[in-house]
Amino acid sequence: MNLKEVDVLFTAEEIREKVKELGNKISADYEGESLLVVGILKGAFVFMADLIREIDIPMEIDFMSVSSYGTSSETSGEVRIMKDLDFSIEGKNVLVIEDIVDTGLTLNYISKILKQRGCSSVKICCLLDKPSRRRSPVIPDYIGYTIPDNFVVGYGLDYSGRYRNYPAVCILKPSVYNND
């Protein structure tokens, strides 16, 4: 990664500590129960991989791929399921893992679909929450960090497929995405 293109918002060490804290809270909240953890691809895969290792209760995992961005830095507003769940969620406690909650349109759509499929509960865990851009009534149940309205990359988050592998969360400088 070209460090001239970004400013570090949260270091890898800060993220490790926050993920451990979230895992402990989720474990306590679901003590004595089992959980189906659903990661939203592609952005949440890094966060989810670290988070599930910090959750100390029985769990299953599955993934969905949902898009509302395309290759732009702005949401299109249209939500499309690109990959659906492999397993039935009927009667299960579902925890949706998302990298960032921005407008909330995607998670609002996903939550409604999951509830229609008969799960016992649906909760949302995100690493990053950007409430200033919210366009739907979604409020995550577990939040790593609340951030201002900046375009962020790293730790699974990308811009046009780049930056996912960086271990920190960084603010992408506008000069990078305004030149595309």
Phi first, then psi, for residue 19 (nearest 5°) are -65, -40
Active-site entry in 50, 99, 102, 129:
102
- The string over 151-160, giving b where at least 16 C-beta atoms fall within 10 Å of a residue's C-beta and e elsewhere, is bbbbbbbbbe
Is residue 102 part of the annotated active site? The answer reads yes
Helical (H) or strand (E) element with 152? strand 152-153
Backbone angles phi, psi at 110, to 5 degrees: -60, -45
Enter the DSSP assignment of 160.
T
**Are the CB atoms for 158 and 176 separated by under 8 Å?**
no
Tokens of 118: 């008969």
Following DSSP, what letter does each residue of 73-105 receive, concatenated? SS--S--EEEE--SS--TT-EEEEEEEEESSSH
Q: Which residues are catalytic?
A: 102
